[in-house]
Copies of this chain bind each other. A is one copy, B any other.
Amino acid sequence: DFLHALNEVRPAFGVDSDELESYLTMPLIDYGPPFAQILKSIRMMSDMVRHSDVTPLVSVLIHGEPGTGKTAIAAHMARESGFPYIKVISPEHYVGMSESVKVNKIAKVFHDAYRTPLSVVILDDIERMLEYVRIGPRFSNPILQALIVLLKQRPPKGKKLLVLCTTSSKALLEELSMVTAFDTAIHIPALSEPKYIEKVLQSLEYYDSTVLESVVSSFRGNIAMKKLILAAEMALQAKGQDPSTTLVQELLARIREFEL
């Protein structure tokens, strides 16, 4: 029980390193200028928190289609900041808890942050944290209210906090009057150019350049990073089981299935 309690207490301070790593099992692929621009924008916010006394709290909304890489980018930027307190609030840790327990657990992460000079809080997948479902719509109003308040609450004198939140639907947050609680919003786009797709497939090192060229010359459309990686994997598997098909056929079929 003592060990268990210890375990409970440990991650309250310091850095959720294991968790950050779990979102970054592969290095981020630099597929081109939009990616560089995203990193730069978030880095600017992180620097402002570090250096300015007038803005001790900056909250950033990272939004984009499912699987575009929001969580990986938030984790990457948090790690890069080198801040001494980095904590992840993710729906996976809140499964099966009551609304009030969730609210208190979320508030605790913020209140712990207020005790460190420099902190990052990642609030991953807001719609899941809110238990949002389109029908109704239904969502947890206590959690929503707590988040709006916490996102606006200035840390005490001398403490600084960067909040990185991810969501698949900025429109939904507008519907919930939550967007005004953020200082700024950054969009993570799907892969929209053939050359970006080519770059990603290249760096996976599964396919030779002729396959890549065929695929890239045949597909015009958007696909999310996570789906493109899955498509590459599935095509390999399918080809392995069925000699009558080609890698190009299989890969194109999956990419088209996953097109946004």
Contacts and interface: CB of A to CB of B under 8 A. Distances in A.
A95 B133 contact: no
Nearest to A56: B25
A233 B96 CA distance: 42
Contact of A133 (B66, B144, B153): B144
Contacts of A107: 95-96
A85 to B, nearest CB: 19
Given A52-B233, A96-B107, A137-B135, A241 B47 contact: yes
A49 to B, nearest CB: 10
- Determine how many copies of this chain the complex contains: 6
B237 A51 contact: yes
A149 B175 contact: no
A135 B175 contact: yes
Contacts of A137: 135
A104 to B, nearest CB: 5
Interface string A173-214: 001110010011000000000000000000000000000000
In this complex, the interface size class of chain A, counting residues with CB under 8 Å from chain B, is 35 or more
11 contacts: A48-B234, A51-B237, A52-B233, A55-B233, A91-B149, A95-B149, A95-B150, A96-B103, A128-B148, A134-B177, A135-B176
Interface of A: 22, 25-26, 40, 44, 47-48, 51-52, 54-55, 66, 91-92, 95-96, 98, 100, 103-104, 107, 128, 131, 133-135, 137-138, 141-142, 144-146, 148-150, 153-154, 156-157, 175-177, 180, 183-184, 229-230, 233-234, 236-238, 241
* CB-based closest 3 A-B pairs: A96-B103, A48-B237, A131-B145
Given A135-B175, A138-B141, 19 more contacts: A22-B156, A26-B54, A47-B237, A48-B233, A51-B237, A54-B229, A55-B230, A91-B149, A92-B149, A92-B153, A95-B107, A96-B103, A96-B142, A128-B145, A128-B148, A133-B144, A133-B145, A133-B177, A134-B177
